[in-house]
Structure 1
Amino acid sequence: MVKKIFINIILLTMLVAILSGCGGAEQTTDKKPEIPKTNQNDIELSIPPVLQNSEGEVLKSDKDALEDVQNFINKQNTTKQGEVGLSIVEFVKLVESDAPTKYAFMAALVNRSDQEGSDIEMKFTITNKATNVKIYDGDKITLSEEQFGFLKPNHAIPFKITIPDMENITPEMTVQDYDFEWEITNSKMKE
C-alpha cells in the first residue's frame, strides 16, 4: 500500500516536471497543482468498525461489495478536489436474520477536501424513478465516530442505506433506477 502511494507520488512528480518544461519560458506560480478528476487512485477506502468482525477483518458478506466500492471510487467517482462527495455503488443483500429489510444501497462518502471529520449527519431523499415514490424523504443518517471512525482526507467511508421491503428489489434493477438527493447537515469537521 505504501509502495503504491510512493509510486503514484513519483509518477505525479515526473508528470509535473515534464509539463512544466514544455512551456518554453520558465513559468512560476503559487497555485497548487490540481489533481485531475480522472485520477482518483489516491482515494483509500477506510473500512469502518461496523463492517468488520471482532478481529478487525472485513465481514465475508461485504467483501465483494467493498471491492466494488474501491473500484468505483478509483475509476468512476466524480467528487472534485476540495469537496466531499457521495457515491451510490450497488445493491447489497443483507444477511442479518433480524434485519427489517433484505437489501441496502452500498454507498461511500468520498473526502477530497483537506479536512477530516466524524459524526457526519446526512439528509437523504431517494426516489424510485419508475414509480416516483420517495423511499426516503428528508430522512437523516448519521455515520457516528464509534461505528464509522473518521473520514480522513483522500479517504472514503463505505456505508449501507437500507431499502424498505415494499420496494420489491428485482435482479433487473440497479441504483440508476433511483434519484438521490443528499446533503451533510451536521458534522465534526476539523483541519
Structure 2
Amino acid sequence: MTNELTTWLDTLLAELDGIEVRRTSRRRLRVEVASDALPALLELLRGRASFVHLSAISCVDWIDAGQFELVYHCWSYEIQSLVSVHTRIPREPGVYISVYDIYTPAAFFERDIHEMFGVWFEGSPDLSRFILTEWDGPPPMRKDFDSEAWVNQHFGWQDYHPDWLKDLEARGGGIAVPPNEQRFSRRTVDET
C-alpha cells in the first residue's frame, strides 16, 4: 500500500468519533469501536474505503469481563489492506445486530458464532444449526462450558482392552489409563 493510500485511509478513519485506530503493520489496521457505532463504521469502510470483502467474523469469550468480543475482518482488494474491527457486547444477554445487510457473507459467520457461542444476531436470515445438528448441550465454545463434565454425563467409560493391546503392554508399550485417572480428569460428574 502506498504512503498516499495509507494517509488517505488514516484521514478517513479520523473523521469518526469514538474509535481507536492502531496500525499493526503497513497493511493492517486494528480498530476498536463501540458496539452501537460498528454498523456505521462498516458502512464507511465498505462504501468509501473499498473494503468490500468481509473475510471473517471472530468471537472471543471474555468470561471474566462478562463480554463477547466480535472481530470483523474486512479486506480491500484495491488498497491491499486488512482492517480488523473489534467491538464488545455484554455476554448476557448475548444479543447483537446482524450486519448481513452490509456484508452478505456475515450471515454464515453469524450463524457459526450463534451455534458455538450462543450470540443471537437480530436480523440475521438464518441462525439454525449446521454443524452441531444433534447437539443438546450449551454452546461449546463458551469458556464456562466444561467439555469433560459434558462427556462424562453423556457417555460412559468403556474399558477397551483387546488382545493386541495386552500383547503390546506385555512388551512395555501402550497406554491404558481411564479418563478419571488422567491428570486433566480429576473432577467427577457430581462436582459439575
Larger helix percent? 2
TM range (shorter): under 0.3
Which one has the largest radius of gyration?
2
Instruction: Compute the TM-score of the two structures, normalised by the length of structure 1.
Output: 0.23
Instruction: Compute the TM-score of the two structures, normalised by the length of structure 2.
Output: 0.23
Structure number with greater CO (CA < 8 Å, separation at least 6) is 1
Larger strand percent? 1
